[in-house]
Amino acid sequence: MGYKTDQVVHHELSCQQADHIPLFEKLMSESDAKLKHSRIVIPTKYAKAYFPEVSEGQVIPLDVLDTDGNEWHFSYRCWISKCRTEYVLQGVNYFKRAKNLQAGDTVAFYRRESDEKLILELKKTSAGTSSHDQAST
């Protein structure tokens, strides 16, 4: 079983909060979007730059906010896979379902300056609708 290389987007982070520091954006792969996987792979360079240090087998609880103000309880961990280290957010199925996350969508990661809280913003592909659009219909 091979893993597809994750694509990361580095431009035009759109969260408008003044104290939200843009970190990176990640284009969701087919593997990230599958509900059976209940995880999102974090590219190694961003995991090392913006997430807590973690060793193989260690699981770190991570409370995250979305741009609608909802709090999500994920866990962060790493494991060795095919001679490389994989970093993942786990326990993300409720988030995926609530946001109707699909392959091709982008998740933008921010850090709130006031309390260092991690903030996620889902950007739907042009074929999809945002959670705001769904709530208003």
pLDDT in tens, 2-30: 333 344 433 344 455 678 999 999 999 99
Q: What does pLDDT average to over the chain? A: 83
d(CA 132, CA 124): 11
- 7-16, 33-42, 53-62: least confidently modelled range: 7-16
Q: Tell me, what's the pLDDT at 80?
A: 86
The span from the first CA to the last CA of the chain, in angstroms, equals: 40
Q: Name all contacts of 81-85 with Cβ < 8 Å and 24+ positions apart.
A: 81/3, 82/2, 82/3, 84/44, 85/44, 85/56
Task: Determine what percent of the chain is predicted with pLDDT higher than 70.
Answer: 79
Position 135 scores a pLDDT of 39
- pLDDT value at residue 82: 80
* Torsion from C-alpha of 8, 12, 13, 17, nearest 10 degrees: 170
